[in-house]
Amino acid sequence: MKITDLKVIRANRCVFARIETDEGIYGIGEAGAWGFLEASGTAIETFKSYLIGKNPLDIEHHWQYMQRFSHFRGAVVMAAVSAIDIALYDIAGKYFGVPVYRLLGGKCRDKVRVYNHTAGQTEEQLVENAVKGKEAGFTALGHLNPYLDEPRDMPFHDNSTELLYKAERRVAKVREAVGESTDLCLELHRRLDPGLAVQLSHRLEKYNPMFLEDPIRPDNYDEMAYVAAHSNIPIATGERITSFYDFAMLIEKHACSYIRASIGVCGGFTGAMKIAHLAEAHHMSLVPHNPLSPVTTNAVLQFAAATENIMICEYPDPYKASTADNLMGNNVSLRQVDMVTEIPEFRDGYLMVPDKPGLGIDLINDVEEKFPFRPHAVSARLNLDGSVCDQ
């Protein structure tokens, strides 16, 4: 079997790689460099000259070759490598007539626990949506931002004292509304400095969050390790990291309890499995990052089914246009579920693992026409003084 073509599909807020073979089998994979998808699409096309004529089943070799032929990588290139790797596994699963999890070592679980995205531009909305999430069957509520999901054109003005008191009040209200049986996965969006993050973690302990995600900017592993060492709430981080070598440093520094690897930028299945094994050796679990389409959701499910040390997975609502539109309040009459042939069944807080060959999902034939590509705008929130605010 040989690769005959590599196409880039741009639809909605997504970029996909479609790899075709001389046996009529094709595979799809999604790039995850969220704000730079146009560049990732170009990177995918760059790899076409290498892949044409190659055996698609030599996945590890292709992964090594694409990473190491150049002196430079980064999120854009690794998103392209990830999309191609996922597509190659999709081909392999179809070729052998098995779901991808069989190629990764077989099942560790039949279903995967997931958390939703609980957004709110006001405290009232946040609590209301938390209750709705529990009523919908979720046993964990995620992307819960105690600093709210306010519009990016609204200046952020809370001082240090307000950052502590408001976050505690909002988490307390959510906990009271959903009770003790629901896990709260708090997303702090890199809002705090290390000292303030430690202060906040102590104030939130009594509400028993499952984890605090990215309380500070995640670029300095030593500072994240400082926060993790002084917090009794587990820290989750890693969605920006693209290399398993960097994950090794993060893990060795004990900078978190939960690894937020993103299969769309960390190297696809090949990269994610390497990271999972590193984490397992240090008694750490993964909480895979996923702000993408149902294609990536299926890829995450295949990975989670075959990986023992998965704690829980992020589940973007397929009945929304995209994570960006959902969390930023954009009223767009698109649904990601309509981009694909099917989505996995959700039941009592879990997604059932698809058993069809490959990823178990496909894009509709005319997805580019029905879902015109919508790039992410360059838009950062500002503080009241005009400086940049992480959100």
CATH of the domain at 346: 3.20.20.120
Identify whether residues 217 and 153 lie together within a single domain.
yes
Structure tokens at 234: 């587990």
Q: Which of 62, 71, 189, 376 is catalytic?
A: 189
Q: Is 299 helix (H, G, I), strand (E, B) or coil?
A: helix
> Would you say residue 246 lies in a domain?
yes
> Would you say residue 225 lies in a domain?
yes
Structure tokens at 42: 């170009």
Where do runs of H (alpha helix) occur along 113-214? 123-135, 160-178, 194-204
Question: What average pLDDT does range 113-122 have in this prediction?
Answer: 96
Total number of domains in the chain: 2
Q: Which of 62, 277, 289, 376 is catalytic?
A: 289
Identify whether residues 90 and 179 lie together within a single domain.
no
Identify whether residues 204 and 277 lie together within a single domain.
yes
CB within 8 A of 206, min separation 6: which ones?
none
Identify whether residues 200 and 339 lie together within a single domain.
yes
Query: What digits encode the pLDDT tens for the residues 26-75?
Result: 999 999 998 899 999 999 999 999 999 999 999 999 999 999 999 888 99
Query: What digits encode the pLDDT tens for the residues 78-105?
Result: 999 999 999 999 999 999 999 999 999 9
Instruction: Tell me the pLDDT band of 21, cut-offs 50, 70 and 90.
Output: very high
> Would you say residue 312 lies in a domain?
yes
> Would you say residue 39 lies in a domain?
yes
Q: Of 365, 358, 345, which Cα lies nearest the Cα of 111?
A: 345
Among the residue ranges 12-21, 292-301, 323-332, the one predicted with the least confidence is 323-332
The CATH number that applies at residue 92 is: 3.30.390.10
Contacts 24+ apart (CB under 8 A), 36-41: 36/75, 36/76, 36/79, 37/10, 37/13, 37/79, 37/375, 37/376, 38/375, 39/76, 40/15, 40/76, 40/77, 40/79, 40/80, 40/83, 41/8, 41/10, 41/15, 41/80
Identify whether residues 180 and 68 lie together within a single domain.
no
Query: What digits encode the pLDDT tens for the residues 209-265?
Result: 999 999 999 999 999 999 999 999 999 999 999 999 999 999 999 999 999 999 999
What pLDDT shows up at residue 329? 62
* Last residue of one domain, picked from the residues 44, 76, 97: 97
Identify whether residues 298 and 334 lie together within a single domain.
yes
Identify whether residues 92 and 110 lie together within a single domain.
no
Can 289 be counted among the known catalytic residues? yes
> Would you say residue 354 lies in a domain?
yes
Identify whether residues 201 and 270 lie together within a single domain.
yes
* Last residue of one domain, picked from the residues 63, 97, 131: 97
Residue with tokens 């059932």: 352
> Would you say residue 384 lies in a domain?
no
* Last residue of one domain, picked from the residues 97, 121, 148: 97
What pLDDT shows up at residue 327? 66
User: What is the chain's mean pLDDT, rounded?
Assistant: 96
Can 202 be counted among the known catalytic residues? no
Identify whether residues 233 and 325 lie together within a single domain.
yes
Domain residue limits at 221: 103-364
Identify whether residues 81 and 123 lie together within a single domain.
no
Rounded to two decimals, the pTM is 0.97
> Would you say residue 383 lies in a domain?
no
> Would you say residue 264 lies in a domain?
yes
Rounded CA separation 148/327 (Å): 10
Identify whether residues 290 and 351 lie together within a single domain.
yes
Rounded CA separation 88/358 (Å): 9
Identify whether residues 331 and 352 lie together within a single domain.
yes
